[in-house]
Each structure stands twice: as structure tokens, then as C-alpha cells.
Amino acid sequence: MFLILLPHADYDPTESSLPWQAARDAGFQAQFATPQGMPAYADSRLVSLGFGPLNPLLMTPAADLQRYHSMTRDAEFRRPLKYTEVDPQAFEGLLIPGGHARGMRSLLESEDVRRIILAFFKADKPVAAVCHGPLALARCIDPDTGRSVLYGRKVTALLAGPMELAAWIVTAPWLGRYYRTYDCSVEAEIKQALASPADFLSGPWLPRRDSAAHPERGFVVRDRNLLTARWPGDCHRFANEWVTLLQQARQAQPEQNPA
């Protein structure tokens, strides 16, 4: 079983449900955790309100919304753990979706989330994060080194120029700072946590949305047991790679812990 960390609200429906479904189809169960142990729902603008004429660029695709609604009907989704109740030893891997609206702060600023992340890194278990999710990793400091758990790793996340800032500029006249979770961009803050800014890999500067038929259009970075991606348009490939990572970790487990 793997763990999915969600904020109290405002996460991305694609980034959560696509890897959830792919892992479930491959035989892996998921347990959800939220700040207060209450079911958490995705950003309403990405689920129903939309972006008017910008929907073709910014709105969640219909197939992803169907998958998200299926996830919200799952029994485990409806009875999540509290962050404080999570025992990382009970899980094979950790998945952290992203999202940009203010509700994401309940995950990104949580000390309990950092405790959970640190335990997964110390145990060298699979960890996957996308969009703003890697920011939670960047903020997790290993007390043994005084550095972020991302230090010495290669990663990707939401890109500043073609993604975060571009979306903010085109929507700011009516949505204000909706696309600016913080003043500092995700990319800029994560780079500060790395051994070198060059360890942040951007992928194609003009991204193309991937699909089930064309997952190769997505961009992901895998560094040992860490998997990161940039935006919902990477998530078919991200989901496939997540399943592979979980499978490889499960296959290696008997060798590490012989009967």
C-alpha cells in the first residue's frame, strides 16, 4: 500500500487521480492522508468553475475529471488518515500531487508532512511528486545533514516562465493571484534547496500535454527512488513511471529482507 498526501483542498485532480488509478490497476492499494483526517476535494476551478475562453489551455480534461470523481468515490478516499496518524513504516511509497490555489499551503507548510517525507527518504522508499509537490520535498530538512532531502538529487517541478508565471499573467485580470501560491516561484525556491541549480531539469520549454496513447510527450525526472514531474500534462508518463518504481521496489524487497 502506498500513501497519497492531500491538502485540505485545492489540489489538482489530474495529478492526484491519474497516478492513483494507474497504481490501482497494477494491483497497488492507496491510503489517503489529509490535515484533519477529512476527505479533501480538488480545486473547484479545475473541477467545475473553469476558465471561460481559456478552458482549452487551463481546464482539466474531461477524462481526467471522470477519473477524479471515481477516486472521490473510493472507500479509502472517504476515510483518510490525519497527517499526525501516519506511520511511514506501514507504506511502500509516497505520492504528493500538486495544485496552486491557496489551500495547498495546508500541505506545503505542514511540519507533519515534513516528518512523513523525511521518514520515506531515510528508508529509501519510492517518493513521487508533481507540480507544487516537489516544493514540500524541498522544504524537508534532514537533521543529519542540515540540508534539504533534495540536496544532491536531480528533480523537476512546475516551471516558472512557461507555466506558473505565464498562467498568472493571462488570468490575473480576473483571478488575481490565483496562480501565485507564494511570491517566490516553485522553481526558484526548489533550486535554492539543491546542490546546484543545474540539478533542476526543465525539460522542453514549450511542453506538450501527454496522453494514454502518447505518454512520451510528458517529461519526468527519476533519481534513484525519487520521481518528479512538472504539470498535469506530464501525468500519463508520471503515472506509468510511478507504477514501475513501486513494482521495482516491491521486487527488491525480498532481497533486502530475506525470509
Per-residue pLDDT of 121-131, as tens digits, reads 999 999 999 99
Whole-prediction pTM value? 0.95
| Overall average pLDDT of the 47-55 stretch | 93
Residue 258 has pLDDT above 60, yes or no: no
Residue 50 has pLDDT above 50, yes or no: yes
Pick the CATH number of 2-159+185-256 from 3.90.950.20, 3.40.366.10, 3.40.50.1100, 3.40.50.880: 3.40.50.880
Percent of the chain whose predicted confidence (pLDDT) is above 90: 95
pLDDT in tens, 170-211: 999 999 999 999 999 999 999 999 999 999 999 998 899 999
- Torsion angle defined by CA atoms of residues 184, 139, 249 and 157, in that order, rounded to the nearest 10 degrees: 0
d(CA 8, CA 210): 28
At residue 257 the predicted structure's pLDDT band, cuts being 50, 70 and 90, is: very low
| Overall average pLDDT of the 236-241 stretch | 99
| Overall average pLDDT of the 94-100 stretch | 98
Average pLDDT for the chain: 96
Tally of CA atoms within 13 A in the half-sphere of 195 that contains its CB: 9
DSSP collapsed to 3 states, the chain? CEEEECCCECCCHHHHHHHHHHHHHCCCCEEEEECCCCCCECCHHHHHHCCHHHHHHHCCCHHHHHHHHHHHCCHHHHCCEEHHHCCHHHCCCEEECCCCCHHHHHHHCCHHHHHHHHHHHHCCCCEEEECCHHHHHHCCEECCCCEECCCCCCECCCCHHHHHHHHHHHHHHHHCCCCCCCCCCHHHHHHHHCCCHHHECCCCCCCCCCCCCCHHHCCEEEECCEEEECCHHHHHHHHHHHHHHHHHHHHHHHHHCCC
Q: What is the pLDDT of residue 253?
A: 81
